[in-house]
Amino acid sequence: MFSAMVLFCVSSAPDQCIYMSLKTFFPILELVNSYSKEDFKRDLYAGLIVGIILVPQGMAYSMLAGLPPIHGLYAVTIPLLVYAILGTSRQLAVGPVAMDSILTASAIQAYAVLGYHAYVEAALTLALIVGIIQFLMGFFRMGFLVNFLSQPVISGFTSAAALIIMGSQLNHLTGIDFTQKGHFLVSFSEWYQRFGETNLPTFFLAVGGVFLLIIFKEFKISVPGALVLMLGGILITKFGKLDALGVKILGKIPGGLPELYLPKLNWTMFQNLLPAGFAISLVGFLESFSIAKTMQRIHNNYKLRANQELIALGTANMMAALVRAFPITGGFSRTAVNHQAGAKSGVASIVSSIFIIITLLLLTPYFYFLPKAILASIILFAVYTLLDVKEPKFLWKSNRQDFFMLLATFLSTLFFGIIIGIGIGVLLSLSLMIFRASKPHFAILGRVPDSDVFRNINRFHGLEVVPEILIVRFDADLFFANISFFRDKLTDWIVEKGPNLQWLILNMESVNYIDSTGLQQLLELVNDYKKKNLCFCFTSVKGPVRDLLIKANVVPDIGENHFFLTVPEAQNFALQNLSGFEMKNPNTSLTLQSNHP
């Protein structure tokens, strides 16, 4: 991209070059030539709707992170503006989400014993770490790393996290002050033991809130259910004096904009939070980018750039640390509302941010009587969709290895914590990937009668096989992790063929790369069997692989006339030379040429 921009600068006016560069790093500038008054009307409406939803959600997710509700509103001020300017998705609505909030709570819970200020400092430091990691990943074009989180791992992790989130809200759901927090089994166990202490007004308020949100969703009521629930909860609590009955309310919330604050860079805290920072960075970006990709497919009028998304999210998280907030990312429910309300660009997020700023300046006193049980019901409604039942059912039928990986991730997250669960899930994904790469599909081929088509003899019946010729196809790259499997399997098949075997044809149509270990082992294999009067032929060798074979100088040992474009050509050559005669018509062989000096 950089070289293309330089070339453009050389051949065009400097002001055009500067504008191109600015659009690359500030995607919102792409709207300059196409944005209309009608687009602004839609963005204004969508921005106001999402801004209204952000008020209760922001406060609820802040509580989920173990922080005072005001920090959730701080998280959707300047950070939201930053993403709107730097992000390439035009519908993605960023802010606090359930997953990042519970990850934050899990990562910083050890600092709770040190007091409020230490806990908040840890949350801000974590946001800064997440921002730096995501920004650097985007700058160094490392968005591909999220591919190490496979779908079974994500499903197992999110389902367990949903249960953990539900357990973390039991105190707000029941009105019981639990003596031990942080583990879902501990929370459920203590609630079971202290069930008689449940505050019924609190319990019915929270459960009623969940049912109300379900009704709004099922009947597709256009008015935001969270807003109606929040306003209704405030009015019922205030005029019904539910706080006197033990219903816990938010109380006084500080108003005004947050002062810019740079977290104190405590090196010990930084080291302790770094693993969690990596986990939140990957999980947050994966969640955000998958949502953004869905929106881009629907609208299909702009390009989504993964590395720019990382830079945008990273910068937004660094700004979150400066405004006393915690890690944020793209949220599914808010993005869906933003899309349904007609958002056309990041201007909608700018409108949402301005609405939150106005709320902080003028409206915070009106949240005094908002029950914490109402915020808990919003969280419970949001996270129940994380419980994925379809994925394990599908995997049990289709892929047992992936099913057990999902189960292991689910159980490790549930019993050992979110960070450890993610780590175990990633290790399992990598281990399974390495295992599969070390033992790829390897097949013996036979000819379909009266054709030039060759297929796997274990999958098709009636194939023609010549006893003196062994034709195999290796369906993977050939490298250090699978070369032993390649040699062992090939040796077994050669032994099974018996002493009459004279030719081995290796179909390499699926081989895109051979590393140095693979080249050395392949050459040794060829030379070993040449001494036993077994000749090799290679077919369908791709250009990059041919270049590697030529550079490694292994072609002379194999024989330049032993390379063919197709399996039928190689078999015909072998048939003509079964008794060891030289080939009478070598014109069907492939002359190897390298594009490199």
Structural domains in the chain? Answer: 38-388 (no CATH), 442-588 (3.30.750.24)
Residue 263's pLDDT is 87
Residue 416's pLDDT is 82
CA-only gyration radius of the chain, Å: 31
Q: Which amino acid is at 229?
A: L
- Beta carbons of 81 and 355 less than 8 angstroms apart: no
Express as a percent the part of the chain with pLDDT over 90.
49
User: Does residue 11 register a pLDDT over 80?
Assistant: no
User: Does residue 523 register a pLDDT over 80?
Assistant: yes
C-alpha to C-alpha distance for 482 and 433, rounded to whole angstroms: 12
Sheet bearing 454-456, strands edge to edge: 454-456, 442-447, 469-474, 503-507, 535-539, 563-564
Q: Who contacts 88 (Cβ-Cβ below 8 Å, separation ≥6)?
A: 27, 292, 302, 303, 304, 305, 308, 309, 312
For the chain, the helix, strand and coil percentages under 3-state DSSP, each to the nearest 5:
65, 5, 30
C-alpha to C-alpha distance for 363 and 26, rounded to whole angstroms: 32
pLDDT classification of 183: cutoffs 50, 70, 90:
low
User: Does residue 41 register a pLDDT over 70?
Assistant: yes
C-alpha to C-alpha distance for 64 and 97, rounded to whole angstroms: 9
User: Does residue 190 register a pLDDT over 90?
Assistant: no
Query: How do beta strands 442-447 and 454-456 pair?
Result: antiparallel
User: Does residue 181 register a pLDDT over 80?
Assistant: no
User: How do residues 311-343 score in pLDDT, each as one tens digit?
Assistant: 999 999 999 999 999 999 998 778 877 887 789
Q: How far is CA 527 from CA 262, 269, 368, 558, in A?
A: 66, 59, 83, 8
User: Quick one: average pLDDT of 475-490?
Assistant: 95
The CA-CA-CA angle for residues 326, 294, 378, to 5°, reads 45
Q: Helices 37-64 and 225-240: crossing angle, nearest 10°?
A: 50
Q: What are phi and psi of 539, to 5 degrees?
A: -130, 155
Residue 588's pLDDT is 41
Torsion angle in degrees (nearest 10) through CA of 366, 368, 374, 376: 120
Residue 15's pLDDT is 59
Express as a percent the part of the chain with pLDDT over 70.
91
**Range among 106-115, 380-389, 506-515 with highest mean pLDDT value:** 506-515
Per-position DSSP letters for 240-257, written without gaps between them: HTGGGGT--B------SP
Query: How do beta strands 503-507 and 454-456 pair?
Result: unpaired
pLDDT classification of 200: cutoffs 50, 70, 90:
very high
User: Does residue 2 register a pLDDT over 60?
Assistant: no
- Beta carbons of 198 and 174 less than 8 angstroms apart: yes
User: Does residue 453 register a pLDDT over 90?
Assistant: yes
Residue 1's pLDDT is 45
The encoded tokens of residue 394 equal 């599908």
C-alpha to C-alpha distance for 525 and 528, rounded to whole angstroms: 5
Which of 144-158, 195-209, 434-448, 534-548 is the least confident region?
144-158
User: Does residue 571 register a pLDDT over 60?
Assistant: yes
